[in-house]
């Protein structure tokens, strides 16, 4: 059966949720540069360009080795394999960005404010990232939203919150004590794929139903594609998946 | 006998092509995915051959960890090359044939799927995570470069299907 085509409409409006369950929103961009991505230059550059991100931490690649021999005490060594990037965090700890050699990632932790604020900050930091070396080709662009639905009881019906649920066996009445469901979906007519994960995280006050939507696309050249347009399309997909997957009961919790 | 365990052999690879997250929820999801994958890989029936290939990769990389390992001025296998090669092998979908492992004089690690002289696929992994490949499937030759970012490339899945057909 041929797949139905999808028409992305970035102008479509979705309900604004006063208590959106978004626990993290992330933009991740894998790309390469020929420029030298040196620790001193990047650290100094970020310090002067991003004073609102006072916590800056250099990331290093390390290799740990343990030697075990008969009649000998085990010994361990850690080898420093050099600079891998810098992670910066805003004063309130809600914005985290990774400036890696081949990876830029920007996370907004809860509370999520709005798409406009999130996207605009991601693009601003991306421009800072590109100032350390021009990026002409992107290997992967990802937009991920992790939602946490807090459920008051540890025993609950997933179907009360999500439209698609694991099915019980008709002739064997087993009770579910956990699940981890991962789908990877492609979008007909568009270069996008989506990882969708539904799982339950234990909690002291009941349970947390996680609904994780990660929209991504493969390689493209930057002059040929506007990152912001692509992100807007990916956001539409994320919203369609989210609002199409939650029940009215769940929606009422977020309004 | 001295047993050397490089902890990097147990390094964490993205289990699938996923956008990196920083929240507790993102870490929980990654851990759960990893746990489930490890449970499958630990079975002899499904994961046994991958485990052997991982050991082979470690042995080959260790044997070429210093420059001039072949006596002819070969480059050492770098940690980055090993890390990418490990994650590439880790991303191999279960059920696909497992490759043999080798190393080249330029320090790249290679994976080879060999069925017969006219049906082979060879993939070399560089320190940057480039996957240079060459395939011979009967009269068809295909070569190129894929960039590894966590997922086993679809192109290789298709080539392996052709190779085994």
Q: Is there a contact between A142 and B28 if contact means CB atoms under 8 Å apart?
A: no
Cβ within 8 Å of residue A150, ≥6 positions away: A21, A203, A205, A206, A208
- Output the pLDDT for position B15: 53
pLDDT digits (tens, 9 = 90+) for B6-58: 434 345 565 557 898 999 999 999 988 888 877 777 777 767 678 889 899 99
Under DSSP, the state recorded for A188 is T
Q: Is B147 on the interface with A (CB under 8 A)?
A: yes
Q: Is there a contact between A64 and B2 if contact means CB atoms under 8 Å apart?
A: no
Contacts of A107 in chain B (CB under 8 A): 21-23
A207 part of a folded domain: yes
CA distance B70 to chain A (A): 23
Reported as a pLDDT band with limits 50, 70 and 90, residue A119 is: very high
Q: Looking at per-residue confidence, does B44 or B110 come out higher?
A: B110
Residue of B nearest to A104 (CA): B20
Token pair for residue A169?
A: 């066996």
pLDDT digits (tens, 9 = 90+) for A26-71: 999 999 888 888 899 999 999 999 999 999 999 887 766 666 667 7
Length of chain A measured in residues: 255
CA distance A147 to chain B (A): 9
Cβ within 8 Å of residue B161, ≥6 positions away: none
Determine which of A20, A25, A31, A68 to mutate to test the interface with B (most B C-beta atoms within 10 Å): A68
Cβ within 8 Å of residue B73, ≥6 positions away: B67, B105
A90 part of a folded domain: no
A211 part of a folded domain: yes
Concatenate the DSSP letters of all residues of B98-109 into one string. Answer: PPEEEE-TTS-E
- Output the pLDDT for position A78: 75
pLDDT digits (tens, 9 = 90+) for A219-247: 888 877 789 999 999 999 999 999 999 99
- Output the pLDDT for position B78: 92
Average pLDDT over residues A18-29: 95
- B80 in the Ramachandran plot: left (φ > 0), alpha (ψ -120 to 50) or beta? alpha
Cβ within 8 Å of residue B139, ≥6 positions away: none
Determine which of B10, B15, B23 to mutate to test the interface with A (most A C-beta atoms within 10 Å): B23
pTM over 0.90: no
- Output the pLDDT for position A132: 94
The owner of tokens 């090359």 is B81
Reported as a pLDDT band with limits 50, 70 and 90, residue A25 is: very high
Concatenate the DSSP letters of all residues of B112-153 into one string. Answer: EEEEETTEEEEEEE-TT-EEEEEEEETTEEEEEEEE-SSSPP
pLDDT digits (tens, 9 = 90+) for B49-92: 788 898 999 999 999 999 999 999 999 999 889 999 999 998 89
- Output the pLDDT for position B14: 56
- Output the pLDDT for position A247: 94
CA A123 vs CA A113, A172, B16, B90, B157: distances in Å: 16, 52, 25, 33, 35
Q: In what order do the strands lie in the sheet with B140-147?
A: B100-103, B109-116, B119-125, B130-137, B140-147
Q: Is there a contact between B149 and A30 if contact means CB atoms under 8 Å apart?
A: yes
Q: For residue B79, give the nearest of A61, A98, A110 by CB distance.
A: A61
Cβ within 8 Å of residue B26, ≥6 positions away: A24, A26, A146, B20
- Output the pLDDT for position A66: 66
State the CB neighbour count (10 A cutoff) for residue A85.
20
- Output the pLDDT for position B151: 84
- Output the pLDDT for position A3: 63
- Output the pLDDT for position A245: 95
If you compute the radius of gyration of chain B from its CA atoms, what whole number of angstroms results?
Answer: 16
- Output the pLDDT for position B7: 39
Of A13-17, A159-163, A175-179, A213-217, the one with minimum mean pLDDT is A175-179
Nearest Cα neighbor of B26 from A1, A199, A36 is A199
State the CB neighbour count (10 A cutoff) for residue B16.
16
B143 pLDDT higher than 70: yes
Q: For residue A81, give the nearest of B3, B29, B79 by CB distance.
A: B79
pLDDT digits (tens, 9 = 90+) for A68-93: 667 777 777 777 777 889 999 999 99
Q: For residue A180, give the nearest of B16, B26, B36 by CB distance.
A: B36
For A222, the domain range is: 10-32+115-255
Average pLDDT over residues A189-209: 90
Total domains present in chain A: 1
- Output the pLDDT for position B8: 40
Token pair for residue B147?
A: 């960039």
Q: Looking at per-residue confidence, does A149 or A177 come out higher?
A: A149
A197 part of a folded domain: yes
Q: Classify A123 as helix, strand or coil.
A: helix
Could you give the count of Cα atoms lying within 13 Å of B72 in the half-sphere of its Cβ? 5
Q: Do residues A60 and A39 make contact, with C-beta atoms less than 8 angstroms apart? A: no
A102 part of a folded domain: no
Cβ within 8 Å of residue B109, ≥6 positions away: B57, B60, B61, B77, B81, B82, B85, B101, B102, B103, B124, B125
A214 part of a folded domain: yes
Contacts of B80 in chain A (CB under 8 A): 61, 81
H-helix or E-strand containing B89? helix B79-90
Average pLDDT over residues B122-133: 94
- Output the pLDDT for position B34: 84
A99 part of a folded domain: no
Cβ within 8 Å of residue A238, ≥6 positions away: A143, A145, A194, A213, A215
Q: Do residues A46 and A124 make contact, with C-beta atoms less than 8 angstroms apart? A: no
State phi, psi for A232 to the nearest 5 degrees.
Answer: -65, -40
- Output the pLDDT for position B12: 56
A5 part of a folded domain: no
């Amino acid at each position: 059966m041929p797949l139905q085509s999808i028409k992305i409409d970035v102008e479509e409006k979705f309900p604004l949720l006063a208590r959106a369950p978004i626990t993290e929103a992330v933009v991740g961009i894998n790309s390469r540069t020929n420029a030298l991505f040196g620790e001193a230059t990047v650290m100094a550059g970020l310090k002067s360009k991003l004073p609102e991100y006072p916590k800056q931490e250099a990331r290093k690649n390390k290799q740990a080795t343990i030697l075990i021999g008969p009649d000998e005490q085990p010994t361990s060594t850690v080898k420093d394999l050099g600079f891998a990037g810098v992670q910066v965090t805003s004063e309130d700890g809600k914005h985290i960005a990774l400036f890696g050699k081949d990876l830029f990632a920007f996370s907004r932790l809860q509370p999520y404010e709005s798409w406009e604020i999130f996207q605009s900050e991601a693009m601003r930091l991306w421009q800072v990232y590109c100032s350390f070396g021009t990026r002409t080709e992107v290997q992967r662009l990802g937009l991920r939203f992790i939602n946490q639905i807090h459920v008051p009881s540890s025993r609950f019906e997933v179907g009360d919150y999500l439209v698609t649920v694991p099915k019980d066996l008709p002739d064997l009445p087993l009770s579910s004590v956990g699940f981890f469901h991962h789908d990877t979906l492609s979008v007909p007519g568009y270069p996008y794929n989506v990882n969708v994960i539904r799982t339950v995280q234990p909690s002291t006050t009941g349970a947390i139903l996680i609904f994780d939507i990660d929209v991504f696309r493969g390689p493209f050249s930057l002059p040929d594609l506007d990152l912001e347009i692509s992100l807007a399309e990916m956001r539409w997909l994320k919203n369609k998946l989210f609002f199409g997957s939650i029940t009215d009961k769940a929606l009422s919790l977020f309004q | 006998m001295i047993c050397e365990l490089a902890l990097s052999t147990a390094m964490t690879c993205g289990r699938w092509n996923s956008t990196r997250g920083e929240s507790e929820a993102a870490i929980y999801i990654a851990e759960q995915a990893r746990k489930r994958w490890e449970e499958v890989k630990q079975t002899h029936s499904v994961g046994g051959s991958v485990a052997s290939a991982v050991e082979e990769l470690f042995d080959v990389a260790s044997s070429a960890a210093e420059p001039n390992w072949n006596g002819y001025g070969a480059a050492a296998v770098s940690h980055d090359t090993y890390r990418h090669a490990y994650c590439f092998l880790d991303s191999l979908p279960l059920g696909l044939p497992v490759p043999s492992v080798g190393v080249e004089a330029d320090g790249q690690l290679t994976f080879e799927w060999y069925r017969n002289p006219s049906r082979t696929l060879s993939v070399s992994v560089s320190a940057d995570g480039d996957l240079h490949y060459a395939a011979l499937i009967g009269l068809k030759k295909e070569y190129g470069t894929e960039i590894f970012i966590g997922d086993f490339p679809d192109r290789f899945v298709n080539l392996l299907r052709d190779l085994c057909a």
